Structure formats: structure tokens, C-alpha cells
Structure 1
Amino acid sequence: MATAGITEHAANALGDAVFVQLPEVGDTVTAGETCGELESTKAVSDLYSLVTGEAVAANQDVVDDPARVNSTPFEGGWLFKVRASEEPGDLLSADEYTEFAS
């Protein structure tokens, strides 16, 4: 199972989140395709799934309180969970992403 969210770097660049639309449980999400929306005080951004599979959970807490995306992106600010239909092979580790984003 994969947990989708945004990084702290992305949360800081985004600005204050004010609206979150997530895939519904049971929806099929496809790697590289949009599956939701995240709106901030700066912009509206599409959410893209990094894996293909079935959405098995959506974080209602971030829908009710979008600020969680900014305040706790790795804990309570996760967005949705996917039962991946295949193992992704080209994702960055946390350390690789930190280096890339620097």
C-alpha cells in the first residue's frame, strides 16, 4: 500500500492550503494522471498519482482542515492511500528528493 501526500518542500512552496479534493475510496488512480486538487492562497494545483491502483483511504481530516497539509505533511497531512497494482520502480527516496529539491 502506498500513502500519497506532498513533501514539506512542496507544502512550503504551495502556501496555505485552503481546499483539498481527493479521490474517493474505490476509485482507480493511474500513475501520472490527475486524481484530485489542492488549492492554496497562491494557486490551484492538480494532484497526480505516482502509482496505479485502487484508492483505499482518503484523509477526511485534510478535507475538513486543509491547513494540515502545511502543518504536518508527513503525519496527519497525508492525502490518500492506494493499493498499488504494480510496484513503482522510478520513485525517489526521501534523501534523493531532498537533494533534488535543494
Structure 2
Amino acid sequence: MTIPAGLKYTKEHEWVRIDGDTATFGITDHAQEALGDIVFVELPEVGRVLTAGEAYAVVESVKAVSDVYAPVGGEVIEVNDLLDGEPENVNSDAYGAGWIARVKITADDSVELMSDDEYNTFLEE
């Protein structure tokens, strides 16, 4: 299981890469392993304004349907349209081709975010 440094993580197993006022969201390698083969990703609409902790996407696998929650608040500026035809990218490259959405951070709110080391410790508990 991969836990890249330089990202932040949530207790709900989402990751966020913050670059200035832009954040890229996805689910962690741990989450995609637990879900199994992902068959569908319901993406948010561009322009939607999210608050931290709000469900913004749905990931459907052969095992379950799961909400995905925003780690930080902001306006959706881009979604990963490749997931419409290739949802398995979340399984094969959770931190790369499997990203779900990008937001322009517009709010000063976030859920409790963990570093890679903190997330690894959280998984071991």
C-alpha cells in the first residue's frame, strides 16, 4: 500500500494535494483496496461549491457504494472526466490518474488533515 509524502489525508481515507489556492482530491490506496474493483465514479459538477466534510462524489465498486468527502472547502474547477470511461484508474493509480476533482480553495475550512506519517499511524491503530 502506498502513502505518498507531501499529501494530506483524512480519517475517511481521502487525500488532498494543495498547490497554492488549488486542491486536488482523490481516495487513498487503502480506500481503493478496501472497495475492490471500482466500476463507476459519480463526479461533482464544475462550479459546485463544497464545504469541508461534504460528500461531493460517489465511488461504486463490486463490493459497495461509497460517498467521497471534501477535505477542504472550495469551488470545483475541474473533474477527472477520464474516470467516466475508465473508473479503474482509481484502482491502478489512486494518487495519479485516479484523482477525482480539483477545487479552488475559497473557504478557510478543512476537516482534520493528517500528514503521511500521521495517516500511516492512523491505519496501524
TM range (shorter): over 0.9
8 Å contact from structure 2 (residues 52, 110) kept in 1: no
**SS at 2:102's partner residue?**
strand
The alignment status of 1:71 with 2:92, answered yes or no, reads yes
Q: Aligned-pair distance for 1:60?
A: 0.7
Q: Which one has the bigger helix percentage?
A: 1
**SS at 1:56's partner residue?**
strand
In structure 2, what is the Cα distance between the partners aligned to 1:33 and 1:68? 23
Aligned length: 102
TM-score (ref. length: structure 1) = 0.92
Q: Aligned-pair distance for 1:88?
A: 3.4
Any runs of at least 4 consecutive aligned residues in structure 1 with deviations exceeding 4 A, and if so which? none
Q: Aligned-pair distance for 1:51?
A: 1.1
**SS at 1:5's partner residue?**
strand
Residue 81 (structure 1) aligned to one of 102, 113, 117: 102
Q: Percent identity, aligned pairs only?
A: 47
| Structure 2: gaps (5+ residues) | 1-21
TM-score (ref. length: structure 2) = 0.76
8 Å contact from structure 2 (residues 39, 60) kept in 1: yes
Q: Aligned-pair distance for 1:77?
A: 0.5
